[in-house]
Amino acid sequence: MEIADVARTVMERCDVLAGYSEEHGRLTRRFASHPMKEVNRLVETWMRQAGMATRQDHAGNIIGRYEGQGSSEKVFLLGSHLDTVRDAGKYDGVLGVLVALAGIELLHDRRERLPFALEIIGFADEEGLRYHYPFLGSKALTGSLEKSILYLTDEQGIPLIEAIRHFGGKPEALIFHCSEQKRYDDWLGYCEVHIEQGPVLEAKGLPVGVVTAITGLSRCKLVFEGEANHAGTQPMALRRDALCAAAEFVLAVERYAGTVEGLVATVGQLQVSPGAINVIPGRVSLSLDVRHQVDAIRREADQKLFEEAIQICTRRGIQVAREEMQETPTIPCTPWLMQLLEQAIDQVGGMPCALPSGAGHDAMIMSRCTDIAMLFVRCLGGISHHPAESVCIEDVAQAIRVMERFFLLLKQHVL
């Protein structure tokens, strides 16, 4: 089997899976939908052709197992998700499942068995489009679902519990747990291949990169309270315009983030009230999203930005209040697995490159139970969650080469 042929098959399969959509003319594949069922069947067929035994779990994750030699219970996990966002591209999620499968096809072709089993998981829901509950598949697999989610309803009013039954799962068999971490002794680790969804690899001219960490974030809401008044009668010097204060703050955020390496900060939502053409804005509420790979730098930035908001508001006679929304710490990838991926890249003639992930992935959830690693594949213009998402076949071939070498290094490491 030639790598170029295997890579071509991966590209063709991405095209085929992109045809399974709930919407005409664009790709949308939500949890437990009919197209998702067809995709699971197709991926299952390909897994069996690669010598794997398959099963679908109660959350609808499709899992293929390539047995190891002997009676070892140990298993190394691979995978990504098979659901999509609305009007998605062809590669986000799907590519990770198919590249892992390509690596196993190469082993199967050589009749090679490792001293442990390999499992590929096609997660049924990562994007959370249908129930606004992301990472459903990996949370189910790791036993970290919250029980209350069973009664979430979709746009048609169908509860999640029904959707799970309809998809062939038994909701009562799902393991609900908690935030508590549980390590699975049989799991050696988890590796996820994914498109980068950013511009770093393209800028460096590299096909693949090793993820160092999944970046943490802080989200809050800031409410600027001034005084609404007549736009015609109130002189400029006497105004307490909440929007002018908010606008000054938005630019301060941009300026500050530009001075700290690796920091990104975004004001993505802004509500102005009363929001009339002839009224001075009395109240503005805005969202602030701050991310950095180092939690301490992120927290410091978040704090500094709030202090800046207070200064701006004091000067302008405006009140400002802060409401916490979310804080997620950075999830570091596991050093020994990162090293194996870097060695694998080096041994297939590539240049190892380390980069953080700004987006969330199933690997984040898997990290609660096992060691994790991620391999990013360059994507055109860093575009994702869009039909223009694009990867090139040579990069996919390189990712498959790295995967194949990674299996070999893993074997040496485990022995």
Q: Is 81 annotated as a binding residue?
A: yes
**Pattern 130-169, binding to Zn ion, x per CB under 5 A?**
----------------------------------------
# residues contacting Zn ion (CB under 5 A) = 2
Provide the residue type at 310 as one letter.
Answer: I
Residue 51 has which token pair? 């010598």
For residue 183, say whether it is annotated as part of any ligand binding site: no
User: How far is CA 273 from each of CA 89, 110, 224, rounded to the nearest angstrom?
Assistant: 37, 67, 10
CA 198 to CA 378: how far, in whole Å? 8
One residue of 93, 103, 207, 281 binding Zn ion per CB under 5 A: 93
- For residue 93, the minimal CB distance to Zn ion (Å) is 4
Q: Which is nearer to Zn ion, 79 or 93 (CB)?
A: 93
Task: State in angstroms the smallest separation of the CB of 401 from Zn ion.
Answer: 22
How far is the C-alpha of 163 from the C-alpha of 169, rounded, in Å?
9
Residue 365 is classified by DSSP as: H
User: Which range of residues in 55-63, 67-75, 93-101, 148-156 is near Zn ion by CB under 5 A?
Assistant: 93-101
Least Å from the CB of residue 194 to Zn ion: 6
Q: Give the DSSP H or E segment for 402.
A: helix 393-414
* Stretch near Zn ion under the rule CB under 5 A, chosen from 86-94, 114-122, 131-139, 242-250: 86-94
CB atoms within 10 A of CB 130: 25
Q: Residue 205 and residue 28: Cα distance in Å, rounded?
A: 31
| Closest CB to Zn ion among residues 92, 125 | 92
Q: Does the footprint of Zn ion cover residue 122 (CB under 5 A)? A: no
| Radius of gyration over every alpha carbon of the chain, rounded to an integer in angstroms | 24
Other CB atoms within 10 A of residue 312 CB? 20
The stretch near Zn ion (CB under 5 A) out of 84-92, 111-119, 276-284, 287-295 is 84-92
Nearer to Zn ion, 81 or 240 (CB): 81
* Amino acid, single-letter form, for residue 209: G
92 binds Zn ion (CB under 5 A): yes
Tokens of 24: 């005409």
Are 151 and 40 a contacting pair, CB within 8 Å? no
Q: Which residue, 197 or 330, has its beta carbon nearer to Zn ion?
A: 197
**Which parts of this chain interact with Zn ion (CB under 5 A)?**
92-93
Annotated binding site: 81, 92, 127, 194, 219, 278, 291, 385
Annotated binding site for allantoate: 219, 278, 291
